[in-house]
Amino acid sequence: MTSVFVGGSRKVSRLSVDVRRRLDQIIEKRLHVLLGDANGADRAVQAYLKERSYPDVVVFCTAGECRNNLGGWPIEPVAAPHKVRDFEFFTAKDAAMARKADVGLMIWDGKSSGTMVNAARLVGSGKPVVIYMAPSRIFRTIKSPAQLEELLGDIPSEIRSRIDRYIADHAPQHASPRLF
């Protein structure tokens, strides 16, 4: 069964009609959903999947402590890298989801570094990711680091440098030298 890592920006708290339609396609195909526990996109997707009574969801939680699990789905506890609740603590689960997933669906606010790190993790491992770009309301399918590089080519330089820094620190090391 195909597993989809669904994630996105913490600033995205409402799902567009287009994203809900894409989630409906995932439901119709009965794909296995791997989902985080953060506020924002994770919580919004959880709420939608709960509303649709979709059972095939696993919520990944660092140190087994879930901040959100609205559907009472099974959890996948991920070992914490340390006790400090910083970026690395909370993104340990993202790295685990990227390893386990076959494909990804990311809901991006146009600014979030973490969402692009997750996209980079997936494409760096040879897994396609669909990115919903909330500001322009379009989906882009990314299958390679070069395509991700092209997507990021048009964003403001301060956002781009932050994303490049996070990707260099948190994504697979065997892909595009600019992104990784």
Go through the domains of the chain in sequence order and give each one's CATH number. Answer: 3-170 (3.40.50.450)
Percentage of the chain lying above the pLDDT 70 cut: 93
pLDDT at 157: 83
- Given pLDDT bands bounded at 50, 70 and 90, which one contains residue 164? confident
Amino acid identity of 5?
Answer: F
Tens-digit pLDDT profile for residues 15-49: 999 999 999 999 999 999 999 999 999 999 999 99
**What pLDDT is stored for residue 176 in this prediction?**
41
In angstroms, the CA 37 to CA 89 distance is 13
Higher pLDDT, 117 or 59: 59
Model-level pTM? 0.89
At 31 the pLDDT is 98
β-partners of residue 139 are 132
